[in-house]
Amino acid sequence: MGSKKTMSLETAFQQLEDIVKKLESGEESLEDTLKLFEQGMLLIRETEAMLETARQKVEVLSGSTSEEPSS
């Protein structure tokens, strides 16, 4: 994180999973817990952006938009 290089969605999910495991363990200090939480929130925002970009690409390729009713 923090670099300009784009990570894959799979890498981001793996990092999120690792953060959750550390947080659930309860072994981290309060300071480390807050840092992990912050990293997790940043990863969530990044993955949401990646998923939104993918959704838009699918819409363009399929010729549909989210405003159209789905059947």
For the beta carbon of residue 24, count every other beta carbon within 10 angstroms: 9
Please name the residue ranges forming H helices in 1-71: 9-25, 30-62
pTM > 0.85: yes or no: no
Task: Give the mean pLDDT per block of 10 residues along the chain (71 residues).
Answer: 67 96 96 97 96 94 68 51
The reported pLDDT for the residue numbered 3 is 44
The reported pLDDT for the residue numbered 69 is 54
The reported pLDDT for the residue numbered 65 is 64
